[in-house]
Amino acid sequence: AEKKNSTKIYVYCWRGGMRSRTVVNLLLLHGYDAVQIDGGFKRYMNDIVWKGLDRFSKQADTLPKFIVLFGNTGTRKTEILTHLPKNVPTLDLEGLAGHKGSLFGHVNSQVKAQKMFSIGLYHFLTDFRDEPYVFVEGEARKIGDCHVPEFIIQKINNDTNRILVQALVKTRVRVIREEYEITETSLKQIREATNSSVMIRNAGKKNVEHLNKLLNECNYDEFTKWLLLNHYDPRYRCNKQKFKYSLTVQSDDLQKCCQQLEKYYRSLLDNKEESNNS
């Protein structure tokens, strides 16, 4: 049969048995370039993904330097990663995890399992391992259900190119409201997170009652503002105040912010080239 296109299709089942073999034969019959992964998904995870990440962890000093975006919740850090020019490498860990990295991070998200997160991370590191610099957001050790490898956390905390992203409170409220668009499903998720034992322990029972009152009144802007100023900001100051920053940017104007960051990235490349030539 004539080939449909030049894209190779890799097919696997759990152990690389008859099911995937049958699918490959059907694809070949209809003109597709298909191959079966010998050993299946189990071998792929064990021999490629897990061993690959372990190899990267032992060679962490040869990986790209991280340019780490730090900033309060709602300062558009993840949005920046997706709006930088395509020729500027970015690693979106929250995107790989399908989670926004907070108590409410699962709302309006398709949460990924650890295996899928690890697959995405492995392939990113494989594809971009020769880049000198990569933008990444400062993350915790766990994003949703996904554990970030320790060597990635160490690079986030120790690589010296740190950017502080700031924005007006009104911008942050608007951004969060857009990300957590209110629907019947999302509102149920928000209520569950608000009344969780974690929130009660961190915010206190009276404050949780106040938050529920705002939700019942559909006062979502004030609900968001309260969480930002009274829950997230104090926790951020406690965790990140030890860092020194190479640059501070305002993300209220996203386009201007990305232009500043691209300029900073280009300056790092120029300095590296000059250093290599000297």
Tell me if residue 13 is catalytic.
yes
Tokens 């490959």, residue located: 24
In the structure, what pLDDT confidence band is assigned to residue 17 with cuts at 50, 70 and 90? confident
Give the global pTM. 0.88
Confidence of residue 5 (pLDDT cuts 50, 70, 90): low
The active-site residue out of 13, 218, 257, 258 is: 13
4-8 mean pLDDT? 66
> Given a cut of 60, is residue 1 above it in pLDDT?
no
> What pLDDT does 278 receive?
67
Tens digits of residue pLDDT in 185-243: 999 999 999 999 999 999 999 999 999 999 999 999 999 999 999 999 988 776 666 78
Instruction: Note the pLDDT of residue 93.
Output: 98
Q: What angle do CA 134, 177, 235 make, to 5 degrees?
A: 60
- CA 91 to chain CA centroid, nearest Å: 7
Beta strands in the chain (DSSP E): 8-11, 33-36, 65-71, 90-91, 133-137, 142-143, 146-147, 161-166, 247-250
Predicted confidence (pLDDT) at residue 58 exceeds the cutoff of 90: yes
